[in-house]
């Protein structure tokens, strides 16, 4: 990220309130919004991501195109109300629960696209290739079958979806993880992609994943990926939590973006990303709400900084030479990576207006506004949001807030009854 002021001209006092840029949410599993709060009970004395995943599988098995649309619309409306104007949807629930493709193999993808269109949020749809149940190449489990494709089927799905692209929709590609996609399949898919298509991958999220990769490939996940593939600015590495110093510097040198998801990583007990070392290496990064235990860029950015303070026992970690304000550094970071991670240049019309009359913003200036927005309380400050010239949030509420919420409520009750 450049040390010149990347926010120059982007924070403006207007009659409608403080205007700030919209934020891209770089990592989302929309269906998981409906299970937020349902995994907060102990199932094992050493609960972890792996025990949480059992609950997620049971919930994923109940999703249909209709319920996916209802849940995603609620989620995307919440994102807009919070100040996100674009979402990267890491979409892996493709088929019917028994693994049989729908008559339209893109049915679940189309439900997500429709939810984004109807709510007004920009979308990068990232269909996920998921082929194996571990680094050892074992077959997918029964519960994973609705996620799975062979390479030919996956490329056909991309070919179906790519013509749907428009000014607010980009279709990229995601590899679920190194444990779920063999090397040869990754190479074959990459060769079939447009050269500028964004590529996302979960990597180094849990210690167990790192240990398995070391045992079977004699290399750590990020180490192996950087050695074997031409990782560059079109790549987004999701989580990348467990890194060596060499891996940290390697990602930064590649130009790739790391999608950090602090509230989900905390909820799952994953660990803390080495932010200070990564910033010092010049690394690029963004944020995602992932499992949606929180749908707030304020909370993601706040806890990205607070996690670093807790582990280092120092204050004001997310700073760069010539940029001593934490809030401005954090906002500039997410803006800097957005175009490459999403595959779409930011629309200059996209904007968020903060409540100029909020007590926590009394006397705010262009210099300290972002610090106050991120660190001065929990009252939502977003009043209005415009995306692609369309006013989608007014007075803090999405234009279709009530109808979306009613449909979502009915859908969740049905999912829980089933």
Catalytic positions, written as ranges: 239, 290
d(C-alpha 311, C-alpha 308), whole Å: 5
Determine contact, residues 76/387, Cβ cutoff 8 Å.
no
Q: What is the 3-state secondary structure (H, E, C) of 189-236?
A: HHHHCCCCCCEEEEECCCHHHHHHHHHHHCCCHHHHHHHHCCCCCCEE
Q: What are the DSSP E strand ranges found in 154-294?
A: 169-171, 173-175, 199-203, 235-239, 257-260, 284-287
Determine contact, residues 301/334, Cβ cutoff 8 Å.
yes
d(C-alpha 380, C-alpha 375), whole Å: 12
Could you give the count of Cα atoms lying within 13 Å of 318 in the half-sphere of its Cβ? 27
What letter does residue 30 receive in the DSSP assignment?
A: G
CA nearest neighbour of 121 among 82, 67, 68: 82
Determine contact, residues 415/408, Cβ cutoff 8 Å.
no
- State the helix-helix crossing angle for 221-228 and 207-217, rounded to 10 degrees: 50
Determine contact, residues 68/7, Cβ cutoff 8 Å.
no
Rg of the chain taking only CA atoms, in angstroms: 20
Residue written as token pair 């399949």: 185
Three-state SS at 151? helix
d(C-alpha 161, C-alpha 123), whole Å: 13
Determine contact, residues 130/201, Cβ cutoff 8 Å.
no
Determine contact, residues 137/181, Cβ cutoff 8 Å.
no
**Strands 173-175 and 17-20, sheet pairing:** unpaired
Q: What are phi and psi of 69, to 5 degrees?
A: -60, -45
Per the structure block, which two tokens stand in for 184? 């040869």
Per the structure block, which two tokens stand in for 37? 């709060």
CA nearest neighbour of 147 among 108, 201, 198, 200: 108
């Amino acid at each position: 990220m450049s040390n010149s002021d990347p926010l120059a001209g982007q924070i403006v006092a207007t009659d409608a309130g403080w205007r700030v840029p919209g934020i891209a949410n770089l990592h989302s599993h929309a269906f998981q919004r409906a299970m937020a709060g349902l995994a907060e009970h102990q199932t094992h004395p050493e609960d972890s991501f792996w025990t949480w995943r059992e609950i997620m599988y049971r919930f994923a098995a109940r999703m249909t195109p209709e319920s996916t649309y209802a849940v995603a619309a609620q989620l995307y409306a919440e994102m807009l109300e919070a100040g996100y104007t674009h979402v990267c949807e890491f979409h892996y629930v493709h088929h019917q629960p028994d693994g049989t493709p729908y008559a339209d193999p893109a049915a679940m993808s189309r439900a997500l696209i429709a939810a984004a269109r109807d709510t007004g949020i920009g979308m990068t749809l990232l269909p996920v290739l998921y082929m194996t149940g571990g680094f050892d190449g074992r077959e997918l489990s029964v519960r994973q079958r609705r996620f799975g494709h062979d390479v030919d089927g996956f490329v056909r799905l991309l070919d179906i979806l790519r013509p749907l692209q428009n000014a607010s929709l980009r279709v990229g590609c995601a590899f679920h993880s190194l444990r779920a996609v063999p090397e040869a399949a990754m190479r074959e898919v990459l060769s079939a992609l447009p050269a500028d298509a964004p590529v996302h991958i979960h990597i180094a999220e849990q210690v167990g994943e790192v240990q398995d990769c070391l045992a079977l490939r004699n290399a750590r996940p990020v180490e192996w990926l950087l050695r074997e593939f031409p990782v560059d600015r079109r790549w987004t590495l999701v989580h990348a939590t467990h890194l060596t110093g060499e891996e940290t510097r390697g990602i930064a040198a590649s130009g790739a973006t790391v999608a950090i998801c602090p509230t989900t990583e905390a909820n799952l007990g994953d660990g803390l990303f080495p932010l200070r070392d990564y910033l010092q290496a010049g690394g690029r990064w963004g944020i995602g709400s992932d499992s949606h235990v929180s749908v707030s860029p304020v909370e993601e950015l706040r806890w990205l900084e607070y996690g670093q303070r807790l582990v280092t026992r120092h204050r004001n970690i997310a700073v760069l030479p010539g940029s001593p304000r934490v809030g401005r550094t954090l906002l500039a970071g997410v803006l800097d990576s957005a175009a490459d991670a999403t595959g779409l240049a930011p629309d200059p019309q996209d904007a968020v207006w903060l409540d100029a009359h909020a007590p926590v913003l009394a006397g705010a200036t262009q210099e300290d506004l972002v610090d106050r927005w991120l660190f001065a309380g929990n009252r939502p400050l977003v009043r209005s949001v415009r995306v692609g010239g369309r006013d989608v949030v007014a007075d803090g509420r999405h234009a279709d807030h009530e109808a979306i919420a009613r449909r979502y409520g009915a859908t969740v009750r049905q999912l829980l009854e089933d």
